[in-house]
Amino acid sequence: MANKKLVLLSALLFCTIASAEDANTSSTADGNMTLLLGPSVVVLDKPYKGKDAEVFPYPAAIFIYDRFYFAIDTAGYRLLANQRTAAPAPGTTLLYLDAIAKWRSDGYDSSDSDALRGMHDRHGTVDAGGEFGVAGDWGSVTTSLVTDALDQHDGQEVRITYGKRFSDAFNVKDLKLTPSVGLAWQSNNLVNYYYGVRPGEARPGRPAYRPGEAVNWLAGLDGTYQLNDKWALFAGITIFWLDDEIRNSPIVSRDYAVSFIGGAMYKF
């Protein structure tokens, strides 16, 4: 359980704060360094039977240097981009391709609930791959393909997300909101590892179950409020609607999962 309290979200929040979005559209060759640090609180409400929501403090960080960035739970390196600026100029389009590695905090300990007793623990992992993005006045679309880098689930995920930032939202100066929608295709190995029941784990009321690939839909809302030149408040929530392959698992009790983060950051 302790190791889970050192990680953030299952699958990344789409642009959790405005600064994280800037990291993903930042210059690839300007050599400037940006560092933001601050306290935050994370809530992970997973769909497993009897499992309580996890609430824990998390040291949020964003670091950008030249082509490298780290944003909340994702490390990346910009391979290609058609612009040097942090965001597209009005009427222009930014294209980029990044190599990424991101923490996946899916999973559980068998001690998390009575319904999970007798199951083997399912561990988080690092997924690695690539992300392609297109951004303009109309918003941004990102497509990522990742695979398990630590041989935990041995699966893959493809995620497509659209989001659009609104500055001075609701006529509130320095308030930025970014709603987003998307979908995530997950391979059968990934889904089976986190939601399957192996024959040796079967019990009365918990039959063996081997799910196939799944497509989960998601929606999020992320925001930031700039207090001054140095400090900003931020929050982000993402809801995942789970595929039937996951919902039908005997260890799953509902058809959605929720993740939330909120806190403050200081720009050095």
β-strand 54-65 against 33-45: which pairing, if any? Answer: antiparallel
Cα-based angle 153, 126, 6 (whole degrees, multiple of 5): 115
- What is the percent of the chain with per-residue pLDDT over 70, rounded to a whole number? 86
Between 33 and 161, where is the model more confident? 161
Task: Give whole-number Cα distances, 260 to 10, 13, 32, 149, in Å.
Answer: 11, 9, 30, 25
- The whole-number pLDDT of residue 85 equals 60
* Per-residue pLDDT band at 207 (split at 50, 70, 90): very high
How far apart are alpha carbons 154 and 189 in whole angstroms? 6
* Per-residue pLDDT band at 26 (split at 50, 70, 90): very low
Contact 58, 261 (CB under 8 A): yes
Q: What pLDDT digit, counting tens, does each position of 117-150 carry?
A: 999 999 999 999 999 999 999 999 999 999 999 9
Mean pLDDT, residues 52-60 = 94
| Backbone torsions φ then ψ of 9, nearest 5 degrees | -115, 155
- The whole-number pLDDT of residue 251 equals 98
* Token pair for 78: 């910009």
| Backbone torsions φ then ψ of 211, nearest 5 degrees | -75, 165
DSSP state of 215: E
Of the candidates 267, 251, 260, which has an alpha carbon nearest to the alpha carbon of residue 109?
Answer: 251
Q: Which residues of 210-232 are buried (b: 16+ CB within 10 A; e: fewer)?
A: ebebbebebebbbbbbbeeeeeb
- The whole-number pLDDT of residue 11 equals 35
Q: What pLDDT digit, counting tens, does each position of 74-100 carry?
A: 999 999 998 766 566 677 899 999 999
Ordered by where they begin, the domains of the chain are: 2-267 (2.40.230)
- The whole-number pLDDT of residue 90 equals 76
Mean pLDDT, residues 234-261 = 97
pTM of the predicted structure, to 2 decimals: 0.86
- The whole-number pLDDT of residue 91 equals 77
Q: What pLDDT digit, counting tens, does each position of 165-190 carry?
A: 999 999 999 999 999 999 999 999 99
What average pLDDT is seen over the chain? 89
E strand residue ranges, the chain = 33-45, 54-65, 68-71, 74-81, 94-104, 125-136, 139-148, 156-163, 175-186, 214-226, 231-241, 256-267
